[in-house]
A and B are shown apart, each in its own frame.
Chain A
Amino acid sequence: MSIIDLTSMGEPQSDLKKELNDRLTKLQDEISEYCFQCAKCTSGCEAHKLLELEPHKIVALLKRGLINELVNSDVIWTCMTCQKCRERCPQRVAPVEILFALKNMAVASGKQIPGKYTGMLQSILSMGLIQDIQQTTTRSNKILKRDELGLPPPSKPTDVAKFQAGIMKIAIEKV
């Protein structure tokens, strides 16, 4: 089981890509049709002022079929997933969901996954959580471990092989 199987160009990914393509086509043909470019999504976008994400433009580009351009753009990775665009859209277009689909497509297309996502995924595969237990520091710079605080061992998958087998099905499942 490797990251490749789940995320990039391994053979089974052709199914995932097809599925994502269907989803994006549906978003393009049906959902984005409802958008009348009022830009309410952009006016409340958490990533707009800081990183120039403009959700209404993402919808407009999708409507025009520029899926490859969007998938290859870094701007889709600036979304903070705050869900304000989905909440406030008068036409229920949910740009945040379009952005998730585009990012998933970027990953399935073998584009490099940005930042720490790969590390988190690796950790989930090996122990079920995005990171292992960390030491913590008090305000007076004392280093403490979880069990020293009287906390019980954390809940995590008990049979890692079986847990991985379950996840593996996502990589190899034929749609």
Chain B
Amino acid sequence: MKKKFALFPGCLMPTEQYAYELSIRETLPLLDVELVDVEGFSCCGEPMKSVNQLLTLYLSARNLAIAEKHQLDVFVPCAMCHLALTECQHVLEENPAMKERINGMLAAEGLKYTEKRQVVHTVDLLHDQVGIEKIKEHVKKPLNGLKIAAHYGCHILRPSEIGRPDDSEHPQKIEAILKVLGAEPISYPQKLDCCGAPLLANLPESALTKTGQKLQAIQEQGIQGLVDVCPWCHKMFDSKQTKAGETVAVKLDVPVLYLTQLLGLAMGISGEKLGLELNLSPVEKIQLGDVQ
């Protein structure tokens, strides 16, 4: 059965992390997921949580109300946005007074939040909605035992009390997807370590140190590459890998791909269509045939 979601792009994916968007738009429709582009979305609000949490809540509610206006469930590829929207639903469902207050503000744009709609992330969309069996049917070029590590990103795992796409301490859904693509997911002690991105705004050196330390650990364990599922994590591990290496004084050389890029390659889609030329880490090292 075809599934239909509003694509909530957030800020980072549509303004710079184009490889994620390209690979999402290439792969998901082939797996019977219809992505609807909806006008008018804004920032989810999460980047402003340290400045003003009410603003975060308002922006999240605004985006949920827009999806609701179109009677659509929401697909959120960014871990940070996914947390913001899920947490907003949680707060508004638990706190009727806050819901009324937020709706009072939303009226300025003729919007209203009334009901909880489904909010999914790449990981649960692929694992739970599309399903492993269906992905398996679409694998045309298995990944030949590629030894690869998964990075989930903090915000899709915690806090579990509001419901997250995978287990907070022992997530396995990306690994399950990697296995069906023919790769060999590698377990590593630093799996739950943060990418560093949340400090990029005010402590960039520390943010890059965090990134560099995790990549260094992965490199030293002889793992062939890393997959991620969040534009912020990918910005750190891929786009800023050289800088992260300079920050921790290590020559880093770790191929980093979005899970949807690796999925697309296994489905036989060309690297060009999946935006592989936009990855700044040495993805050509993993030799998947048509990698550019």
Contact = CB atoms under 8 A, between A and B. Distances in A.
Shortest 4 CB-CB contacts between residues of A and residues of B: A115-B202, A154-B14, A128-B42, A83-B158
Interface string A132-153: 1110111110101010011110
A113 B106 CA distance: 26
B15 A134 contact: yes
A163 B105 contact: no
A86 B90 CA distance: 16
B205 to A, nearest CB: 10
Interface residues of B, number: 67
Contacts of A165: 108-109
A38 interface: no
Given A149-B18, A155-B41, A158-B40, A163 B109 contact: yes
Nearest to B202: A115
Interface string A83-127: 110110000001000001101100110000111110011001000
Contact of B198 (A6, A81, A154, A166): A81
A151 B18 CA distance: 8
Interface in B36-94: 37-43, 47-55, 58-59, 62, 83
Contacts, number: 193
B1 interface: no
Chain A residues touching B, range: 35 or more
A83 B155 contact: yes
B55 A113 contact: no
A104 to B, nearest CB: 6
Interface in B2-35: 8-9, 11-12, 14-16, 18, 21-22, 25
B194 interface: yes
B209 interface: yes
Interface in B212-255: none
Contact of A107 (B8, B52, B155, B168): B52
A116 B155 CA distance: 21
B203 interface: yes
B159 A156 contact: no
A82 B55 CA distance: 20
